[in-house]
Amino acid sequence: MGDIAREEPIAPGSTPGPGLRMLPVGSLTPHPNQPRRRFDEAALEELANSIGSRGLIQPIVVRPHGKGFQIVAGERRWRAAQRARLHEVPVIIRDFDDAETLEVALVENIQRQDLNAIEEAEAYARLISDFGHTQDALARIVNKSRSHVANLMRLLDLPASVQSRVVEGAITMGHARALIGAANVEALAGEIVSKGLSVRETERLARTAKPATGRTVHKGADGQDHDVAALESQLADLLGLGVRVTFGAKGGSVTLTYSTLDQLDMICQRLSGEPL
């Protein structure tokens, strides 16, 4: 699924190009399951000023809904257009069903980097659970690495209060990643905020804390633990080999898959500590 609209400046009062229509701002309504929950006021005001002087850079994608139209992609642009006091906005009308509408909204927000880390992680989780995408497929769709997708989804293991701090911008994704698997995560998150700790300081603090006695296991549509998938992806990127990690109550195994003798030599050299 690629970009759903080309970026072409459309000035206020101009005639839209082929495939575009001008609709009254009031005829559009936001989607109730919009993946983006928080709109930065300063950024929204800046976009409104830009739209007021230059028009919309990209049309809003909508679908027929009731007596008007429902926004599929572009709610932020619609909100900014209202602030800019535009009477009409350029739109592309698509006949998406409910499932297609949600899928396009999720992917478009990820591609445009409109989501914070938690919202992006939730979007990946929903695309996997509701639409059967794998992490590999998602990585290709949104043009990101599989390790990026897997690592973000691990943030959903954190308590809701800590996730809220990420959404609010009180702590960064780097801080949140350092807290995964640590004990007293909520207390550590509070310490990060109160002391203004850096990510490096947070990593050291999390290492000294007693590890959590248990963890929530999040699985994708293929039944694979997200944490294990992230570890496999990181090892595969590091070694350039196929990696399979299994674990159980009494231990587990790491399997490396090679296809050439040179790769086998590399594995032996790394394990023995000899120079490559």
Listed as own residue / partner, the contacts of 166-171 with beta carbons closer than 8 Å and 24 or more positions apart are 166/116, 166/117, 166/118, 167/37, 167/38, 167/116, 167/118, 167/119, 168/38, 169/116
**What are the structure tokens assigned to 124, written together?**
């990946």
d(CA 117, CA 176): 10
- Beta-bridge mates of residue 91: 21, 60
* Catalytic (active-site) positions: 75
Asked if 85 and 117 count as a contact pair (C-beta separation under 8 A), the reply is no
